[in-house]
Chains A and B, each alone.
Chain A
């Protein structure tokens, strides 16, 4: 069974801090994704990566960056956290190939920016 592990379930940070969210998958998947989920807005894609050191912007990349130095690890970085980045953050992974491969999700990190 695929396991996607996010480093924290709950995180509280202050405005202006640099925040790192870590995600690790154990199934040698090529693709990894970061989403945020807000009430009434569903899941929105922030960034995805289809290979080590490769990344592409999703629908809402502003204020975020990502890093993928190893295949199993995908990090989301909030360069200077703001209160509007308070949200549930979800990481996912999938096999390579086209965009039809099912995604496997972690349980999320609920991030509060004070």
Chain B
């Protein structure tokens, strides 16, 4: 299973763009990269998934370089409600054992 490494915490201010980078050096050829968001006392919520280059949805963008050994979740113009823990996962095509690391705790200040 590909292990991921991401910063433990980040601080930002309202209105700024936030970029959270995740390293996954052992990603397999068929693995996708998936990001989740978790608020206190709730389950994680799927944000975005990608395989290569760039993916954008109404919530975020995901940038994946050609070697796929890292990825960057970009949150445009964050608000206080974006304060949460963000998890980067790499899919396991051989089965369903998913490793959630400790995630990145994002704190958005006014």
Contacts and interface: CB of A to CB of B under 8 A. Distances in A.
B9 to A, nearest CB: 13
B96 A99 contact: yes
A48 B81 CA distance: 32
B98 A108 contact: no
Given A42-B102, A107-B41, A102 B97 contact: no
Nearest to B46: A102
A107 to B, nearest CB: 5
B34 interface: yes
Interface residues of B, number: 24
Contact of B94 (A40, A99, A106, A108): A99
- B interface majority secondary structure: loop
Contact of A48 (B42, B91, B94, B96): B96
B66 to A, nearest CB: 20
Interface in A47-102: 48, 50, 56, 58-59, 90-92, 94, 98-100, 102
B31 interface: yes
Interface in B59-106: 87, 91-98, 100-103
B30 A98 contact: yes
Given A45-B98, A100-B93, A103-B98, A108 B43 contact: yes
Nearest to A4: B43
A103 B42 contact: no
B54 interface: no
B96 A107 contact: no
Contacts of B43: 4, 90-92, 105-108
A10 B49 CA distance: 31
Interface of A: 4, 31, 33, 35, 40-45, 48, 50, 56, 58-59, 90-92, 94, 98-100, 102-108, 110
7 contacts: A40-B102, A43-B87, A59-B97, A92-B43, A99-B94, A102-B46, A106-B43
Interface of B: 30-32, 34, 41-46, 49, 87, 91-98, 100-103
